[in-house]
Amino acid sequence: MANSIPYSILDISPIRQGFTAADALRNSLDVAQHAEKWGYTRYWVAEHHNMTGNASSATAVLVGYIAGGTKHIRVGSGGVMLPNHAPLVIAEQFGTLESLYPGRIELGLGRAPGTDQMTARALRRDLLGSDDRFPQDVRELQYYFGPLQEGQSVKAIPGMNTNVPIWILGSSLYGAQLAAHFGLPYAFASHFAPEQLLEAMKIYRELFKPSTQQAKPYSAFVMNVVAADTDEEARHLFTTLQQNVVRMRRNTRGQLPPPIAGMNEFCEPHERAAADQALQVSVVGSLETVKKGMRHWLDTTGADEIICTGQIFDHQARLRSFEIAAQAAQGL
């Protein structure tokens, strides 16, 4: 069925309690292969480090694994945390991917470290000015992906003249302003930081300047989707993500936990309220519930695309959730 609103997936390759990183990576490929059949536009993986519950740290490697196991779905990063890397290294990695899977690779860029400060130092060796250089690093990447310039001494090979599409990702107004200024597509991380979602979308559209990559603004937002055959079942599955958010705020992260009967015995009321606030851009329920929720957030944000993410313990339930989400998006 043709769909008017593109819908995509953001994955962090969650490592479940009792399972391994290898299991998580194989599950990510399985989700991507099903997503391709269900009409998803793109499949992104996110860079995180030093987190026992996430297997997506070597983002470019995982993008290659997923692209190699699928046929036509677009595959990319959502995102690469650019301050952790030299732009030339990223240009070579994604230039290689684009050379292997032409027309299918995308590079979403984030400004945060995707980890704690000690791990960030281990990644970069030097934290001086790393975040402040983000705009210059984006421009440097565009330079490496573009055609050979007269007098250019440093080249990304592969990478040069591949014109890998770049997205700016963010959870604040900064990313919206930068994406607009550079004329790039923009995705907002509202699945965990929803506070500035609406203002960021508005600023992005108002300030957008056309570029060679993007003639007009194009925005997406990430939402948690936990779908099942009944609302009750979906709410039960959702307790996995709720636990994760509470544990993150307690600084007791771990592997993805199984769902529980209810949250009241797991956390205090103020912890539950904080988790609800962080997870407000979520749709949890059956097909009709999910469809209504998607429609609400699309109308509210004015976005061009929905990016679904869903941390669900049981792999088959996770597949079923993304299948229902696709059906919901197709019906919008």
Question: Is 279 part of any domain?
Answer: no
Query: 0.85 exceeded by the pTM?
Result: yes
Q: Can you give the pLDDT at residue 131?
A: 59
Question: Is 183 part of any domain?
Answer: yes
Element (DSSP H or E) covering residue 75: strand 74-81
For 198-212, what is each residue's pLDDT tens digit?
Answer: 999 999 999 999 999
Q: Which CATH number covers residue 183?
A: 3.20.20.30
* CA pair distance 255, 18, nearest whole angstrom: 8
Q: What is the DSSP track for 274-305?
A: HHHHHT-SEEEESHHHHHHHHHHHHHHH--SE
Q: Can you give the pLDDT at residue 116?
A: 60
**Average pLDDT in the 32-53 region?**
95
User: How many CA atoms does the CB half-sphere of 77 hold within 13 Å?
Assistant: 31
Question: Is 21 part of any domain?
Answer: yes
Question: Is 246 part of any domain?
Answer: no
**For the chain, how many structural domains are there in total?**
1
For 224-237, what is each residue's pLDDT tens digit?
Answer: 999 999 999 999 99
Q: Can you give the pLDDT at residue 2?
A: 46
Contact of 53 with 19, CB cutoff 8 Å: no
- Residue 29, C-beta contacts closer than 8 angstroms, at least 6 positions apart: 65, 66, 69
Question: Is 262 part of any domain?
Answer: no
Question: Is 229 part of any domain?
Answer: no
Residues of the domain holding 111: 7-224+304-330
pLDDT at position 64 over 90: yes
pLDDT at position 44 over 80: yes
Question: Is 255 part of any domain?
Answer: no
* CA pair distance 34, 207, nearest whole angstrom: 37
Question: Is 143 part of any domain?
Answer: yes
For 300-315, what is each residue's pLDDT tens digit?
Answer: 999 999 999 999 999 9
pLDDT at position 113 over 80: no
The percent of residues in the chain predicted with pLDDT above 90, rounded, is 86
Q: Can you give the pLDDT at residue 101?
A: 98
pLDDT at position 114 over 70: no
